[in-house]
Amino acid sequence: MGMEGLALGPTCGLKSHGKIRDKAASLLICRHISGKKMEAAAVTSFSSIFPLYSTIRTTPRSSTFLSLRSLTSFPSPLPTSFPHLSSPGNSVSLLNRSLCTATRSHMEPEPPVPPFQGAESFFRNVLGSMETVYLNRNPTAKSVLELVRSVDNDRICYDHLAFRTFGVNGYGIDSMAQFFLDFGYKPREELRFPAKKLRALWFSPPRISHTDTGTGVHGPLPRIFISELLVDQMSPPAQEIIRKYTEISGSGNKHAALASAQGFLTWEKPLYSEFQQLARESEYAAWTLVNGYAVNHVTISTHQLKSHLRNIEMLNQFIEENGFKLNSEGGVLKVSPDGLLLQSSTVADSVSFQFSDGVTESVPCSYIEFAERLVLPQYKNLPDKEVKEYHRRDGFEVGNADKIFESTSKDQLTRRAA
């Protein structure tokens, strides 16, 4: 006999959402601390949907607590594609951004983090190659990094690296994510951007056994943010173009990390007319067609700087005073609803690209972002020297990210050139 599945709304309410099997259930306790209200219900076992998830921490928004305890798992083979996690028909979308807050008590130690898997030196060298390609193509990013580093000889820590993909023919989030999963990264939250026909998933880094004292990719391991275009929602002509090149690529999706580290497309160069056609419908699609798996942006973790630039507003002012334009979409400073995640970014550089029909035109490349994660309310009284990264706001915010995506838009690039 089946049982009603449950989904979480923005206020952690529970509602009917399809059928699930009796044995595929977990115990979910959602407690509203402010109202002293507790509700318990059975929901789909998250670990059975995706075995790498054993716990889930969501971005704090209010004083609520979420805990999941797996009771059993599906007897059938486990799905291997990320899109399955939130596809229509699933009984529960536990990756949805509207999940309740997962918080820790003031005295609770650092949450368990899976250890790094494999050879760390190899992994960091691959990241280093990705970074080298990125810096060679984007003089603004290189100059900004050097500028920030020059202030009190500051060490640069990356908050996250970001990639864009085509969600079709195996070229979506999965293709780039596999490299990071192999080394111990853990999938965390899904974010959706309906107007842009995008979805994204971010990954938290594994634990390493030594102190991070390096800079850039040789410092603390960054989060990874991978987005994908929902190709099936595009117009038939746009779908045809995208499918054409992903099919030409063959098994290129299996070598996404290699393509990113070497700076090559896994498909042939497109026609200029095809680039123009995609750009009219989705600037994200056009960008991905000519940049492929290249790093879309790196993000400086401002609160880990030692100088006055650790304050993102001071950093923004410093960047602009040195002649660099910042993305003005929605305001230069993007602030999450809880006020704890502050982000900004430069406008993307442009590079000369020769299309397969011989046409050479300027196309958008990448940019650099800045993020300040403030201390969570329950840790506000901790001395500064005792504050660790896990005491700060984690995750991402749809509203912020939606505006950051515009760093490669024609409107922002045109403004930059003005």
Q: Which domains does the chain have, with CATH numbers?
A: 3-86 (no CATH), 120-417 (3.10.180.50)
* Residue 212, pLDDT above cutoff 90: no
Cα gap 76→20, rounded to integer Å: 13
Q: What is the mean pLDDT of residues 4-18?
A: 36
Q: What is the mean pLDDT of residues 389-414?
A: 96
With b meaning 16 or more CB within 10 Å and e meaning fewer, what string describes 332-355?
Answer: bebbbebebbbbbbbbbbbeebeb
Q: What is the mean pLDDT of the chain?
A: 80
Comparing 188 with 418, the larger pLDDT belongs to 188
* Residue 209, pLDDT above cutoff 80: no
Residue 275: both structure tokens together: 């680039």
Q: What percent of the chain has pLDDT over 90?
A: 67
* Residue 302, pLDDT above cutoff 50: yes
Q: Averaging pLDDT over each range in 4-8, 29-33, 77-81, 281-285, which range is the top one?
A: 281-285
Q: What is the pLDDT of residue 195?
A: 97
Q: What is the mean pLDDT of residues 277-300?
A: 98
* Residue 13, pLDDT above cutoff 70: no
**Comparing C-alpha atoms, which of 111, 95, 116 is closest to residue 8?**
95
Contact by Cβ (8 Å): 86, 190: yes
Cα gap 316→314, rounded to integer Å: 5
Q: What is the pLDDT of residue 57?
A: 39
Write the pLDDT tens digit of every residue in 24-44: 333 333 333 333 333 333 333
Contact by Cβ (8 Å): 268, 245: yes
DSSP, collapsed to helix, strand or coil, labels residue 330 as coil
| Residue ranges of E strands in 108-212 | 158-166, 186-193, 198-204
Q: What is the mean pLDDT of residues 187-207?
A: 97
Q: 61-64, long-range: CB within 8 Å, 24+ apart, which pairs?
A: 61/101, 61/337, 61/338, 62/34, 62/100, 62/101, 63/33, 63/34, 63/101, 63/103, 64/12, 64/30, 64/31, 64/32, 64/33, 64/100, 64/101, 64/103
Comparing 396 with 61, the larger pLDDT belongs to 396
- The angle, 0 to 180 degrees and rounded to 10, between the axes of the packed helices 312-321 and 139-150 is 120
Q: What is the mean pLDDT of residues 14-24?
A: 34
Q: What is the pLDDT of residue 28?
A: 33
Q: What is the pLDDT of residue 118?
A: 85
Q: How confident is the model at residue 410 (pLDDT cuts 50, 70, 90)?
A: very high
Q: What is the pLDDT of residue 312?
A: 98
Q: What is the pLDDT of residue 211?
A: 66
How many residues does this entry show for the chain? 418
Write the pLDDT tens digit of every residue in 110-154: 667 888 888 899 999 999 999 999 999 999 999 999 999 999 787
Write the pLDDT tens digit of every residue in 218-260: 999 999 999 999 999 999 999 999 999 999 999 999 999 999 9
* Residue 56, pLDDT above cutoff 60: no
Among left, alpha and beta (phi > 0; psi -120 to 50; other), residue 277 is alpha
Write the pLDDT tens digit of every residue in 304-354: 999 999 999 999 999 999 999 999 999 999 999 999 999 999 999 999 999
* Residue 162, pLDDT above cutoff 50: yes
Name the one residue in this structure whose structure tokens are 């995640």: 341
Q: What are 308's strand-pairing partners?
A: none
Cα gap 313→148, rounded to integer Å: 14
Burial of residue 292 (number of CB atoms within 10 Å: 0-12, 13-18, 19+) = buried
DSSP of 188-199, one letter per residue? EEEEEEGGGTEE
Write the pLDDT tens digit of every residue in 70-115: 333 333 333 334 443 443 333 233 344 333 333 343 345 566 788 8
Q: What is the pLDDT of residue 113?
A: 81
* Residue 385, pLDDT above cutoff 70: yes
